[in-house]
Structure 1
């Protein structure tokens, strides 16, 4: 039987930069499925607060697929700065430091992510 979850079924983890709902995890599904997935609402960052390449978030052990469900934002890696919008998707390769944020103070950029095995 499939497991059906919504963001209301999990406790979000909130920081200054984002709110994340981890939907597909061993704890939520009762099994390790080889991937994790969820929703992330990335918060606004003013242009003056944009991080330099040496201040990005850490790279993760697995590649991550993102689908932008709502809003617009920026994806920053050591070598690229990409603007993204609802309806677009992108992949961050394993080990690549990165940061994502909304470019609009009134609206977070909402993404669905899958951390791939």
Structure 2
């Protein structure tokens, strides 16, 4: 018996499909929006984490626990983003939610660093 082929992110007749997108009634446009949102949000999260790690390392007495936490989150977000190709649409939606949650937690901390440097309000 031949193996069933699983369509992941591929072009087929001009339509981008993510596994499971049809069951959520997501068309070409919605799939692209999801992919672009994940890319944008992930890039923002990576920027925040990189900024925070750099700022904390430059502190007179860096908080090692914060550095470890942020470095783990950075690694985890990169791993999660890297695991997405070929995944079910629900994995993409989960990743987007996780990245957004990380941003909402980290933005206030980043703003505090900027204020302390006299760069924010």
Same fold (TM over 0.5): no
Which TM-score applies when normalising by structure 2?
A: 0.21
In terms of fraction of residues, the more helix-rich structure is 2
The structure with the larger Rg is: 2
